[in-house]
């Protein structure tokens, strides 16, 4: 998945965000995508600043939350991040990015998955410390691709616009009266993820939890 544009256009798209969308799956595919191999990526926009602590924090949240989201819909999700490093499938040239979906698809197939799901957290903006070794970013955009592990063809894709952490805290202030900034940020990332997948219908042959 490679986006080749002029620097000015690429930067403006990354910072402002494309039209937001939620992932949907055609009813004819619902009983064919299970099990799903999940690979999560995270980086700052424009250029990857190498914030490993934040990247790992994000990946851990998504790796825990996304399988739960799909389990409630009757799908089984297998984690793939342990099978290969981010550098093996992801590159971040200035103002764009590249993901080797064919490599992810092959690993998903080797792990017995019918499909692969790549979820990319792209965060940006001011840094604010929320723990001794962790900072939060002002904004985060989320990309998702679901494809066949057999041939890497994309079945569905989605992209949320830049979401504001500040706005999230303001809207949900009553829910976080006694919460730490770290927990608020965790819930912020989970809310973006939940929004992306909430329109996916249940697996007609799966066990709904």
* pLDDT tens column, 62-94: 999 999 999 999 999 999 999 999 999 999 999
CB 119 within 8 A of CB 193: yes
The pLDDT value given to residue 81: 98
The pLDDT value given to residue 17: 39
The pLDDT value given to residue 1: 52
The pLDDT value given to residue 208: 65
The pLDDT value given to residue 21: 83
In this predicted structure, the answer to whether residue 114 has a pLDDT above a threshold of 70 is: yes
The pLDDT value given to residue 192: 96
The pLDDT value given to residue 157: 94
In this predicted structure, the answer to whether residue 15 has a pLDDT above a threshold of 60 is: no
- The model's confidence at residue 139, banded by pLDDT at 50, 70 and 90, is very high
Burial 147-159 (b: 16+ CB within 10 A, else e): bbbeebeebbebb
In this predicted structure, the answer to whether residue 4 has a pLDDT above a threshold of 60 is: no
Kindly give, in sequence order, each residue whose CB lies less than 8 Å from that of residue 34, ignoring residues fewer than 6 positions away.
74, 75, 76, 114, 115, 203, 205, 206
CB 143 within 8 A of CB 120: yes
- Average pLDDT on 19-29 reads 82
Output the pTM of the full model.
0.89
The pLDDT value given to residue 169: 96
CATH architecture of 18-197: 3-Layer(aba) Sandwich (3.40)
Q: How do residues 200-209 score in pLDDT, each as one tens digit? A: 999 988 776 6
- The model's confidence at residue 117, banded by pLDDT at 50, 70 and 90, is very high
The pLDDT value given to residue 48: 95
Q: How far apart are the first and last CA of the chain?
A: 33
């Amino acid at each position: 998945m490679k986006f080749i544009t002029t620097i000015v256009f690429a930067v403006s798209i990354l910072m402002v965000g494309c039209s937001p969308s939620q992932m949907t799956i055609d009813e004819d595919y619902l009983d064919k995508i299970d099990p799903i191999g999940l690979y999560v990526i995270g980086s700052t926009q424009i250029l990857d600043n190498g914030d490993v602590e934040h990247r790992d924090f994000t990946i851990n949240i998504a790796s825990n939350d996304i399988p739960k989201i799909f389990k409630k819909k009757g799908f089984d999700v297998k984690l793939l991040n342990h099978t290969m490093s981010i550098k093996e499938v992801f590159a971040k040239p200035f103002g764009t990015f590249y993901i080797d979906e064919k490599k992810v698809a092959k690993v998903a197939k080797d792990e017995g998955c019918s499909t692969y799901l790549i979820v990319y957290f792209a965060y940006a903006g001011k840094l604010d410390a929320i723990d001794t070794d962790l900072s939060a970013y002002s904004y985060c955009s989320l990309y998702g691709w679901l494809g066949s592990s057999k041939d890497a063809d994309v079945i569905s894709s989605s992209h949320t616009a830049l979401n504001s952490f500040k706005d999230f805290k303001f809207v949900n202030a009553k829910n976080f009266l006694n919460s730490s900034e770290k927990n608020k940020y965790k819930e912020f990332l989970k809310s973006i993820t939940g929004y992306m997948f909430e329109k996916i219908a249940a697996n007609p042959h799966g066990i709904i939890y």
